[in-house]
Amino acid sequence: MDAVESSSSPYSPPSLRHKLRTTVCGCFGSPSLPGSGAERPHTGSVRAGQVEATRGGHGGVQFQEIKTELNDTPKTEVFACPVCYEPLIRKGPPGMNLPAIYRSGFKCSKCNKSFTSKDVFLDLTVTSGMKEYSELKPARTELFRSPLVSFLYERGWRQNFNRSGFPGRDEEFQMAQDYFKPVAGGILVDVSCGSGLFSRKFASSGAYSAVIALDFSENMLRQCYDYIRQEETPMNTNLALVRADISRLPFASCSIDAIHAGAAIHCWPSPSNAIAEISRVLKPGGVFVATTFLSTPTNSGPFSIDALRPLRQIVGPVNSSYNFFTEGELKDLCISCGLVNYSSKVQRSFIMFSGQKP
């Protein structure tokens, strides 16, 4: 029994819970959120009168009787099951910050599937916890799972986008903030956040009740965590790190106020499934803002993306690594997925576009 398994114990039957708790007592070297001082608790669903283990003054284990119920009230969460979209039940300290989420266990009452933090992020992929099955995504998704690419991303890779017209992190952040004004104070999800260059800014802006930095890449999320520590962003900032697939967003329908997707749609396996998901989880009035590379005018001519579009189904994507789109295609995607008030800003092959849930 390792400490990670023990953290899902809040959902075990009472007899097993007690067993787990006493088993855990012997392994207090449980993982802690690196550098935060946050250890996984062994509480979760402790009933009055039960015996509970706590760390003693010198790291030893003490037993004490728990007089009151601790965190025993299941709460409905903003997070939902990626299998059935039922809101997850959380056991653990409340709050949308890294230590609270790290210490919590989440469970779908419908599928019975449990989710806990892996390293520094909460894994809400469908494959979370699977032991045998693994799945490979297209190269444009897998590329960013590499430790090297994750490390280099904010150390030069992203800055290269400026050559194509991307205004750069600070200006793109301001532009996005302008679009998000109508939903200030709400929950923002930075999907495909990468190393969290925008998530961290959204979180420290104080403009949102919570910011969820979400990516499929474990290493990007680890990198994001390292930056949070280096920048000494307070650990109790309302910022969560979540691993999830854009095509299967772990949120209930109509639960999110703002979604940002910086430089990501060209990396997604199915942009239409992704935008449909974004549209599903946005609240009425919720705002979606994204940036990407347009298929550029330099592509014009007989071999341009436009010219080859009729052949796409035969020859496959024109650019096999990424999917670049025309503005017409992006607008069509948003409208087809039920978003309204489409607007955009273009600078060379950079585009920031936005749509709203009616």
Ligand X SMILES: C[S@@+](CC[C@H](N)C(=O)[O-])C[C@H]1O[C@@H](n2cnc3c(N)ncnc32)[C@H](O)[C@@H]1O
Residue in 144, 180, 251, 353 binding ligand X, rule: CB under 6 A: 144
103, 41 contact by CB (below 8 A): yes
DSSP code, position 18: H
275 interacts with ligand X by CB under 6 A: no
Provide, rounded to whole angstroms, the least separation between the CB of residue 265 and ligand X.
9
CB of 106 or CB of 268, closer to ligand X: 268
269 interacts with ligand X by CB under 6 A: yes
Kindly identify the residues of this chain, within the stretch 154-183, that bind ligand X according to CB under 6 A: 158
241, 97 contact by CB (below 8 A): no
Structure-token pair, residue 180:
């998000």
193, 220 contact by CB (below 8 A): yes
* Dist CA 324 CA 341 (whole Å): 22
CB of 82 or CB of 92, closer to ligand X: 82
CB of 18 or CB of 118, closer to ligand X: 118
262 interacts with ligand X by CB under 6 A: yes
Kindly identify the residues of this chain, within the stretch 281-340, that bind ligand X according to CB under 6 A: none
Provide, rounded to whole angstroms, the least separation between the CB of residue 192 and ligand X.
3
Provide, rounded to whole angstroms, the least separation between the CB of residue 50 and ligand X.
41
Residue in 173, 180, 216, 288 binding ligand X, rule: CB under 6 A: 216
191, 212 contact by CB (below 8 A): no
Q: Which stretch binds ligand X (CB under 6 A): 47-55, 127-135, 263-271, 320-328?
A: 263-271
218, 144 contact by CB (below 8 A): no
133, 127 contact by CB (below 8 A): yes
Q: Which stretch binds ligand X (CB under 6 A): 34-42, 229-237, 266-274, 296-304?
A: 266-274
* Dist CA 182 CA 198 (whole Å): 19
* Dist CA 230 CA 111 (whole Å): 38
| C-alpha pair distances (Å), 224 with each of 35, 134, 251 | 14, 24, 21
271 interacts with ligand X by CB under 6 A: no
**Contacts with ligand X, residue ranges (CB under 6 A):** 137, 141, 144, 158, 192-194, 197-198, 215-217, 220, 245-246, 262-264, 267-269
